[in-house]
Structure 1
């Protein structure tokens, strides 16, 4: 099996490390050339993550069950691997060399298998590397960590109380409330047809995902899932991404989500520009939420869900004068060249110091600390608490005054004198 648990040293080398964000001294002048590449891609085509209660196609309709990479997904990533081989011909060695590449995946079957299919297209075994006749595949390690410990690629990252607080605040924004009111009747119809109670703007994506997977694999859809309904659900699905990572306080959300991955990308770009010996390719195999969180943080998100096997590329170049620049591309259509992406405030060929400076506000200094909630009380809760405390204090003062008044109103007492008692 190509997937293996990442060794501490390997992960520290490429994905961790305490690298400062420093301005680099230029190297001696030489011809402009590619020095380092970071890839973040989504897994390939998969079966639905789950079915809705009234879905006629339950888990038994899928050969490998829910949430699993399909043969189409394997082909998509094999094709992406071949496209990457063509793009980086002359930069990567003609055959696989372990010193040149490091691959990390989330700990789910579909992302691990996508990475393996991708590597099969990217590094087919040559004659010297083939371990069996007529077999062009070769095992290449894919590193991962348990899902519960993944604080880099599995989004949204959590637990993070401050992010949860931001989500609650987002639900009270005019945009969210207006969208909820505008879609209330449609959501109720979908809830009735699917058997899903309390369907919201945030959960409608799951219905679209299930229907989309079934439609893609030529399973008949129910009559209520008309093209108009599918289009409406798709819009709500895209809206759910904006709810998670944008719509309200996007910079704060970025620091708690996509900014965490961006910090590692910054560190690896800086490291690759500061040392002469380093791997050429760092690959992350992840999910649509990973891509959207990162692209929203960078403000290059196009507003739509990242397609299967889509790939965000960071390319580090050394210029003729020895300085470094970063170029970004997004491959979301296998029939077209990757789209150039431009960071706001910079050119498409962005000098590395400018890239680091412009993205620094999006990166958390201490994620654990920033996730803490300084005050769990909203303004309304504070007002209510003060009103309650004031009422209690008023009642206590009233009770004290009542006791004092009664003590003053009571007639003076007398002492009974016994017979025979001496008198003055």
Structure 2
């Protein structure tokens, strides 16, 4: 006789097999931050200048290369039954910002995802093959680099954010720390929004076994870490988060939603399966803020936000999201607020729509009232400067006349004396 436990196992296996057969992965987008790097810059009193780093400032380290090679291997395992084992140019599209560290991260990642075999090995013993990574000049980047600085309304929102109670309270609470940083680093000024750069430099140096200055205690690093994370929250949230998203991360979210909608329609000619995006911590934070799933902390090196599109047996489609911010554990699922973990595509589109601008350029413009106020202010300043300039010119003319008159008088006297 078959035991009850055995019957349960058979039934469970049958159900699991049926579920697996019913839900099929059809498309995935992975957005990741570059790997470990050198600091972007050093503060004036920092003993470690650019020549202390093998490739200079802002460059991917050997550790960063290893991190992305490992992430590529993870993606190979995750998608082993989805992607071809060997590289197929129609299956994957890779896009990166135009920075050395993001381009190199993408390349290291692809080395782990598509180790060549057989005919794809162009040199015996070399487990690597060239795979294209696409980019655009930094000046033209509008998809993967945030915050974009071409939006007057966003600048206005940031100014308003700096006057919120939360921002002012944090500024007051950490004023002593900010003054300490200014005194010890040789910086002329620092603020809640800019002090992150000091933390970043110290953090990079500590990861590469460089000694910290005496004033950098564990407590100071903890406080700097808090301000660094708060800086991310300020950029994309704290105040009017959804409107900020429409002007920043919503650009990327809109492109992702457009692709999901397109891929949901069965098309035998469609071969693209994976969109790979190599970018920055601010890119990951901007996207997650626009999805309202940002945890308020800086995304770590090689962290990866995964968005997968599934098709059910009845033809319906759903979206699942995951975040991999620790290579020692499996990615944890992200739930879009207001939807299930496996979110029906139509609900995903509906819920994310308020974070996506229909005409971002139009929304970036200031209202007519704000523009009028700005014009009046500019005119008033111009008039004041003009008045000051005229006063200076008149003063110079008067002094010149007076000087000329005095010189003429003395000249006559000299003539008479002569």
143, 146, 149: which one aligns with 1:152: 143
Deviation per CA, 1:321-371: give whole Å up to 9, x if none: 110000000000000000100000000000000000000010011111111
Q: Which residue of 1 aligns with 2:157?
A: 166
Q: Which residue of 1 aligns with 2:189?
A: 198
CA separation in 2, counterparts of 1:246 and 1:376? 25
Q: Which residue of 2 aligns with 1:62?
A: 53
261, 274, 277: which one aligns with 1:281: 274
Q: Which residue of 2 aligns with 1:234?
A: 225
122, 125, 130: which one aligns with 2:121: 130
Q: What secondary structure does 1:264 align onto?
A: helix
Q: Which residue of 1 aligns with 2:64?
A: 73
CA separation in 1, counterparts of 2:272 and 2:226? 40
CA separation in 2, counterparts of 1:73 and 1:205? 21
Please report the RMSD computed on the Cα atoms of aligned residues, expressed in angstroms. Answer: 1.6
209, 214, 217: which one aligns with 2:208: 217
By how many angstroms is 1:215 displaced? 0.2
CA separation in 2, counterparts of 1:111 and 1:83? 18
Q: What secondary structure does 1:79 align onto?
A: helix
CA separation in 2, counterparts of 1:378 and 1:95? 56
Q: Which residue of 2 aligns with 1:249?
A: 240
Counterpart check, 1:97 vs 2:97: no
Q: What secondary structure does 2:31 align onto?
A: strand
Q: Which residue of 1 aligns with 2:259?
A: 268
Give the alignment's TM-score, normalised by structure 1.
0.82
297, 302, 322: which one aligns with 1:309: 302
By how many angstroms is 1:158 displaced? 2.4
By how many angstroms is 1:37 displaced? 0.4
CA separation in 2, counterparts of 1:188 and 1:202? 14
By how many angstroms is 1:186 displaced? 1.0
Q: Which residue of 2 aligns with 1:393?
A: none
CA separation in 2, counterparts of 1:98 and 1:269? 20
By how many angstroms is 1:266 displaced? 0.3
CA separation in 1, counterparts of 2:370 and 2:244? 19
Counterpart check, 1:295 vs 2:288: yes
Give the alignment's TM-score, normalised by structure 2.
0.83
Q: Which residue of 1 aligns with 2:313?
A: 320
By how many angstroms is 1:378 displaced? 9.7
Relative distance call for 1:375 and 1:172 in structure 2 (3 A) is farther
Query: Number of paired residues?
Result: 355
Q: Which residue of 2 aligns with 1:415?
A: none
Tell me if structure 2 keeps the 8 A contact 1:272–1:278. no
Unaligned stretches of 5+ residues in structure 1? 1-29, 389-424
Q: Which residue of 2 aligns with 1:332?
A: 325
CA separation in 2, counterparts of 1:304 and 1:170? 18
Q: Which residue of 1 aligns with 2:134?
A: 143
312, 336, 344: which one aligns with 1:343: 336
CA separation in 1, counterparts of 2:98 and 2:365? 27
351, 359, 363: which one aligns with 1:370: 363
Q: Which has the higher helix share?
A: 2
Unaligned stretches of 5+ residues in structure 2? 1-20, 381-418
